[in-house]
Amino acid sequence: MASRPEQPARFAVGDHVAVVERPGERRHVRTPRYVQGAVGVVTGVHGPHLDPERLAYGLDGHPPVWLYAVQIPLAQLFPDGACRPGDVLAIDLYEHWLRPADEVGTTRTERVPD
């Protein structure tokens, strides 16, 4: 864990979040392209950590950013039916990659687990 971040955690367990889409992003990022645009639910708050995207470029990683555990229905990521109903991807995502689900338009339609 890093020192205290400048802001309190934006999300809590149970919040529905959308992963920000940045299709033209060419720098080092910690969020896979295949989850960008997906909607999931926060299942854990890991606390503030140094920003790995800043650390990758030799910067000090400050300010710290909040890290969350998020579950995304696999049917959003693999709509061809290659997964079973109820299967989820559990992934850790940094706060600057998340928005409240109701604020972001997305093409992903699979129901987010409660």
Instruction: Give the CATH number, domain containing residue 34.
Output: 2.30.30.50
Global confidence as pTM: 0.84
pLDDT digits (tens, 9 = 90+) for 8-19: 999 999 999 999
- The answer to whether residue 114 sits within a structural domain is no
pLDDT category, 54, cuts 50, 70, 90?
A: confident
Cα 74 → chain centroid: 14
- Residue 16 CB-density burial (10 A; 0-12 exposed, 13-18 middle, 19+ buried): middle
Residue 18: what pLDDT?
A: 97
Looking up tokens 């030799």, which residue turns up?
A: 58
Number of structural domains found in the chain: 1
Residue 5: what pLDDT?
A: 64
Q: What is the mean pLDDT of residues 44-68?
A: 91
- The answer to whether residue 1 sits within a structural domain is no
d(CA 58, CA 44): 29
Domain hosting 96: range is 16-103
Q: Which two tokens stand for residue 9?
A: 């955690």
Peptide bond between residue 63 and the one before it cis (omega within 30 degrees of 0): yes
pLDDT digits (tens, 9 = 90+) for 75-111: 999 888 778 889 999 999 999 999 999 987 655 545 5
Helix (H, G, I), strand (E, B) or coil at 68: strand
